Amino acid sequence: MWGAGFVEVSCKRLEYRCWGPEPDDGRAIVLLHEGLGCVALWRDFPQRLQEATGLPVLAYSRAGYGQSDPDDLPRPLNWMTREAVEVLPQVLASFGLSQPILLGHSDGATIAAIYAGRQSLLGAPPLLAAVLMAPHFFTEEMGLAEIARAGEAFRTSDMAARMAKYHRDPEATFRGWADAWLDPEFREWNVEHALDGVTCPVLAIQGREDQYGTLAQIEVVSRRVATAQTMVLDACQHVPHLEQSEAVLEIIGQFMQKNA
């Protein structure tokens, strides 16, 4: 099944695409997308990542994103934990990835971190390493304000039409993301503790001008994970792999040479 298509997980068909040769040793980099992302919105990064590391790369769209089946809405406020402990292990098993490397962006980075911290309890494949780009571990007012502004843009601009190029149901995709983050009860959300169980090598990357989170998000990785290496990129907001792609590919390549 290595290539492109759909994989069925928890009664949902999830789209996926692979780059590079099919892994024969269970090793591959698995990409976990952001809150409004999908396979296509990684753009040329997966191909360039495969070339920079020499490792196979797999990306999939979570339920409710891209061309995957719709998700069940409204999402529970612990949905990122559910993705990490219920869905992701099944995806890895479906592709026979016994030595995965997770690379997540934004919400996807949070899912990767939760999996890394709880893998010993899941009976799931242990990670060789994890790369966390612009992760979230707790809510911040500036991030919530940015999501609220995105909501206004969705209502008043052509944002839905632009999203329709990549998502089957842009309204459901947007609402599934924004409504969970803007739920008043979500202000108390905090998953820092998940990092205490991380034992694999970790690379955490954040833009200095990230509009969705302060550098406190990456600093918590440094405090709680003894194996962590961190990088803050100047002239970079929330999407390091597209805004500073050369620097990101270089440091990830170096990190993979040592750890994967």
CATH code for the domain of 61:
3.40.50.1820
Helical H segments across the chain, by residue range: 45-53, 79-82, 88-94, 107-122, 141-156, 159-163, 170-181, 216-224, 240-243, 245-259
What pLDDT sits at residue 126? 86
Q: Is 199 exposed, middle or buried (0-12, 13-18, 19+ CB in 10 A)?
A: middle
Contact 115, 127 (CB under 8 A): yes
Query: Which two three-digit tokens encode residue 44?
Result: 């040329």
User: What whole-number distance in Å separates Cα of residue 55 and Cα of residue 130?
Assistant: 14
What pLDDT sits at residue 110? 98
Query: Which two three-digit tokens encode residue 55?
Result: 């490792």
User: What whole-number distance in Å separates Cα of residue 45 and Cα of residue 236?
Assistant: 16
- 126 three-class SS: coil
**Residue 162: pLDDT band with limits 50, 70, 90:** very high
For residue 122, pLDDT over 90 is answered with no
Residue with tokens 């970790």: 202
Please give the average per-residue pLDDT across 69-75, as a whole number. Answer: 95
Q: Is 152 exposed, middle or buried (0-12, 13-18, 19+ CB in 10 A)?
A: exposed
**Residue 3: pLDDT band with limits 50, 70, 90:** very high
Q: Domain of 19?
A: 4-259
Mean pLDDT estimate for the chain = 96
Number of domains in the chain: 1
Please give the average per-residue pLDDT across 142-171, as a whole number. Answer: 96
What pLDDT sits at residue 203? 98
What pLDDT sits at residue 147? 97
For residue 121, pLDDT over 90 is answered with no
Please give the average per-residue pLDDT across 176-184, as a whole number. Answer: 96
For residue 76, pLDDT over 80 is answered with yes
Torsion sign (Cα): 213, 216, 219, 221: negative
**Number of DSSP helices (H) and strands (E) in the chain, helices first:** 10, 8
